[in-house]
Amino acid sequence: MRILEAKNLTKIIAGKTIVNNINIEINSGRLVALLGVNGAGKSTTIKMLTGINSPTSGDVEIDGIKPINKSFSHKIGVVFQNSILDADLTVKNNLWTRAKMYKNIDKNYVNSLIEELGLQGILNQKYKTLSGGQRRKVDIVRALVHKPKVLFLDEPSTGLDIQTRSKIWQFINNLKIKYQLTILLTTHYLEETEQSDYVYVISNGKILAADNVSNLKAKYAENTLKVRFKDNSKGIQFLNENAIAYRLVHNKYLLSIPDDVSAIRIISAMQSNVFDFEYQHGTMNDVFLNLTGSRLDEND
């Protein structure tokens, strides 16, 4: 079931087109990543999808409701890049102050979120005394107290160390599964997109591609087989006879291979002449490089 639909969203600020006619469609229960470098337009897109800023043109609907509708805010939870919690309040007070803003809060559900994210031990600690990872978890619980249908996370793991990042990611995945939550997050981390159900690649305010990770890799990244031959002339003869394209990189023959089965077939056929080989699947970095002309891992 379609839970989020954004049509022809454009944002122009001071004559500059920040987001350029993008379309986003998300089915219920999916974890979707908006992938792009800093300045690509991710935050601006999230602000339009959550009704914080209105688009210059285009439409947003979540669960059939538009941002101008009063009940729209009940449908969404948002975690911003910079937390909006009160630094001097305890975790408990921050969470329950937020919860009291809504009618019919399910206290058991809020308590189970607190438990699932392991916040029991820090409930009486002031928000400003928490570590980066703990803060992010509290931000996430705060965004979920009213049982929204869609959770928006703007760069949820930026600035966290790699272990904390992977823990936050684990919580996000658990939330998705346990509450059938739909999650849209922005990121410039490749490992996060690898775990998403669907990825929108954004650059200069435009969506350049949208698909699941395996389809993106199949379309925009090549699997490579690097081979060193015992006898180069024999090797080249084999490649030419079998119409296998190659290029020579640092004494290795680099072949572009459609899939694992073809790699095994080629290596088996050339066996006696293979000195050594290395097979590599295409990565999301290759996808990004192919689509945008720049590498994502250079952006950190």
Ligand X SMILES: Nc1ncnc2c1ncn2[C@@H]1O[C@H](COP(=O)(O)OP(=O)(O)OP(=O)(O)O)[C@@H](O)[C@H]1O
Say how many residues touch ligand X, by CB under 6 A: 12
Residue 99 to residue 80: CA distance in whole angstroms: 18
Q: Which stretch binds ligand X (CB under 6 A): 35-43, 84-92, 105-113, 210-218?
A: 35-43
- Largest Cα separation within the chain, whole Å, is 77
Binding status of residue 9 toward ligand X by CB under 6 A: no
Question: Closer to ligand X at the Cβ: 13 or 245?
Answer: 13
Smallest distance from ligand X to CB 9, Å: 12
Nearer to ligand X, 10 or 273 (CB): 10
* Contact status: 24 vs ligand X (CB under 6 A): no
Pick from 2, 148, 129: nearest CA to 77: 148
Structure token digits, residue 4: 């989020």
For 77, the token pair is 């939870």
Q: Give the containing element (helix H, strand E) for 185.
A: strand 182-187
Q: Which is nearer to ligand X, 40 or 85 (CB)?
A: 40
Dist CA 29 CA 177 (whole Å) = 8
Determine the interface stretch with ligand X among 42-50, 121-129, 144-152, 277-285 (rule: CB under 6 A).
42-50
Neighbours of 201 (CB within 10 A): 25
CA–CA separation, 218 and 282 (whole Å): 8
- Are the C-beta atoms of 294 and 288 separated by less than 8 Å? yes
Q: How far is the CB of 191 from ligand X (least distance, A)?
A: 17
Residue from 23, 39, 242, 295 binding ligand X (CB under 6 A) = 39
How far apart CA 255 and CA 279 sit, in angstroms, is 10
Q: Is 223 in the site for ligand X (CB under 6 A)?
A: no
Nearest distance in Å: CB 182, ligand X: 20
Residue 148 binding ligand X, by CB under 6 A: no
Measured CA distances, 206 to 83, 217, 235 (Å)? 27, 19, 44
- Does the protein bind ligand X through residue 42 (CB under 6 A)? yes
Min CB(84)–ligand X separation in Å: 16
Give the integer Cα–Cα distance in Å for 64 and 60: 9
Q: Does 13 bind ligand X (CB under 6 A)?
A: yes
Choice from 6, 31, 35, 44 touching ligand X (CB under 6 A): 44
Helices (H), the chain: 42-49, 72-75, 91-99, 107-116, 132-144, 162-179, 190-194, 213-220, 232-241, 260-270, 284-292
Residues of this chain, 150-179, that bind ligand X according to CB under 6 A: 155
Of 17 and 232, the one with the shorter C-beta distance to ligand X is 17
Write down the least CB distance from residue 36 to ligand X, Å.
5
Residue choice 8, 38, 97, 129 for contact with ligand X (CB under 6 A): 38
Q: Which of 4, 9, 31, 36 binds ligand X (CB under 6 A)?
A: 36
The helix/strand/coil state of 197 is coil
Options 18, 65, 150, 266; binder of ligand X; rule CB under 6 A = 18
Does 43 contact ligand X by CB under 6 A? yes
> Among 279, 278, 218, 273, which residue's Cα sits nearest to residue 241?
273
Write out the residues near ligand X by the rule CB under 6 A: 13-14, 18, 36, 38-44, 155
